[in-house]
Amino acid sequence: MNHIVIDNSKCKACYLCIKECPKNLIKISSQTNNLGNRTVEFVDPNHECLGCALCATRCPDLAITEVYRG
């Protein structure tokens, strides 16, 4: 199952990844991290993730740490 791993403690809430995802699977979370930022979460109930890694390539803060395919 394609998926990404987000390290919420590094997210600075720039939300660039949200716009990048072709399937709109990254949402603003209700959680706030230790930096006081409202972070993002990966929501993929229908297993639509392409594993394209566009989000991870775009993330300027190393918050998307891993992307898997298959």
Partner 1 sequence: MATQVFKLPESLRENTRYSFCPGCDHGVAVRLVAEVLDELGIRENTILAASIGCSVTIYDFLNIDAIEAPHGRAMAEATGVKRARPDKFVFTYQGDGDFASIGLAESLNAALRGENISAICINNTTYGMTGGQLGPTTLVGQVTTTSPTGRNIEYYGYPIKIAEHIALCDGTAFSARVSLDTVANIKKAKQAIKKAFEVQIKGLGLGFVEILSTCPTNWKMTPDEAHERVRNEMMKTFVPGIYKDVTAD
- Residues near partner 1, by CB under 8 A: 1, 4, 9-10, 12-16, 19-20, 37, 51, 53-54, 56-62, 64-70
Would you say 41 or 58 has its CB closer to partner 1? 58
Shortest separation between residue 45's beta carbon and partner 1, angstroms: 18
List, in sequence order, every residue forming a beta bridge with 42; answer none if it has no partner: 26
Shortest separation between residue 17's beta carbon and partner 1, angstroms: 10
Shortest separation between residue 27's beta carbon and partner 1, angstroms: 16
Nearest to 42 by CA among 21, 27, 22: 27
45: left (phi over 0), alpha (psi -120 to 50) or beta: alpha
Tokens of 2: 């394609």
